[in-house]
Chains A and B, each alone.
Chain A
């Protein structure tokens, strides 16, 4: 039975702190301050069952939720007690669930793991990174889902861009026919259209980056408020911007080239409708 899981079930009652009794202190989830109107110095009664006698404790602090994705959708409150108080409350004796150990460096981590697993009876040491990989499976799935959505979005953008470029070159077929008739080579025409398409794509990418950044702020604000967590849901990093701009440029070049091919493969007079 995990104590921190169980403690989320506790009932609490606010009452004035007693001056005589030396009560233990407790740190409460920050969300309880808003939801239950509790303040530092209030006394709460904790019990492992709704109708239990309970233990009185003084609220010493409020703690903010950590940015832990695995807890984001959970609405339970977390409270932090002194270890001996929690052991007494649960009748847990001198038992603990786990120890967290800080090592000096990675070599020390390896030595500690080997030493604990080889010698210490009753303990199994794990590297934090390995535990994170195991618990991160959920987020690996979310990442794959987001990537798949991204691919569909890129496909839609590519078609949109190609459509726009096609419309633009179709609109200018007379102008391009005239340029061909006064001696411009097909290659020059294709290059001009590709440059134009790339410029449009890059301009769109810059505007899109700005829009993405604003959307990212809105998304973070919305979800952080909804789940009451400091977790950052959407992050616009230089890598993401670089990927978006590069992709746009590639799509721009491809769309421009394809659109230009339709134009330069027809005779200039045919483009003029003769």
Chain B
């Protein structure tokens, strides 16, 4: 090549100076990742608001919501192992019974732990008469 070698471009200078800079990576899991507001993590289901309409189950694109009978009423049971976290269920719910959280650490050894059963409504605490 007749042209002058252009090898020491400023990239070598940059690469060298990076040694003295803070790393671009995060030391997860020792440093917890900071998530944006409105992150779509594991949903929480509030059985008291649920009216058993089944819209969440019908609209779920991953078929991850099964209507499960709890105390005589059909309630959504979430198969989080199939869930794609699109939150269409939360959008479809007419009563806002499905709420977002930013829980994303769902890795597990046993997939059955990812089944989120609807918890029956806690019996109201009887107040002594």
**Co-complex (A, B):** no
